[in-house]
Amino acid sequence: MIRTAAIVLGLAITTCALADSTLQVNRPSGELSTEDGLIAWQRIFAVLSHPRCSNCHTDEHNIPMWSGPSYGRTRPHGMNIHAGPSRMGVETLMCSTCHITSRTPNTLPHAAPHAGHPWMLAPAAFAWHGKDSASVCTQLRDPQRNGGRDGQALVEHIIHDAEAHAFITWGFAPGGGREPAPGSMQAHLDDMLLWTSVGMPCPEGAQP
């Protein structure tokens, strides 16, 4: 069951550390409409579908992808990487063999990126690489396919990621000459607050 504005706007958390700045929980105010939510969703989807996010949101074949302007075409991760059912390479070659857990900036071109959380693929149930906006929207608001999260928990997921300096945070500042996800971590959080506050509307064609 989707929780609405009263729950999302009642978040007790107000700020959290994010690198050298502060991530603010800007509670939506004023009269908001479903159309406002759909516009926010368009920006959210631009982030979720960007290579910095979608390349690790792959299906049960457990293969991370390489895509984006620097690659020319979408293709499986190099070196024949297979993350296995563990989604972190326990069965084959651990992601941590190259992707270290570190909060230091990613500055070296062509070096394996690192983040403040052990590197792994998202669970297969969260796969959306190559899916369209309506499909991803339906998936993200479905607790059975988003890790059991309601609107408040989706917001808190972003906040917790910022505290850990994990994968969402890295996506907006990937360094090493990589193209970052569009916008900023703050803008993404603002959009998620707005979208969830008006009931998580999805584009036309989305399934209930």
**Contacting residues for 90 by C-beta, under 8 A, at least 6 apart:** 84
AA identity, residue 117: H
d(CA 151, CA 157): 10
pLDDT score for 165: 94
d(CA 117, CA 47): 20
| Backbone CA torsion sign across 165, 59, 190, 14 | negative
Q: Which regions of 72-165 does DSSP assign to beta strands (E)?
A: 75-76
pLDDT score for 95: 96
59: confidence class by pLDDT, cuts 50, 70, 90? very high
Please state the φ and ψ torsions of residue 156, each to the nearest 5 degrees: -65, -30
Please state the φ and ψ torsions of residue 7, each to the nearest 5 degrees: -80, -45
Q: Provide mean pLDDT across the span 51-58.
A: 95
9: confidence class by pLDDT, cuts 50, 70, 90? very low
pLDDT tens for 62-119 read: 999 998 877 778 999 999 999 999 999 999 999 999 999 999 989 988 899 999 999 9
pLDDT tens for 124-182 read: 999 999 999 999 999 999 999 999 999 999 999 999 999 999 999 999 999 988 999 99
Cα 49 off chain centre by? 9
Whether residue 15 is predicted with pLDDT greater than 50 in this model: the reply is no
d(CA 95, CA 81): 9
Q: Provide mean pLDDT across the span 6-29.
A: 53
Whether residue 16 is predicted with pLDDT greater than 50 in this model: the reply is no
Residue 24 DSSP code: E
pLDDT score for 205: 66
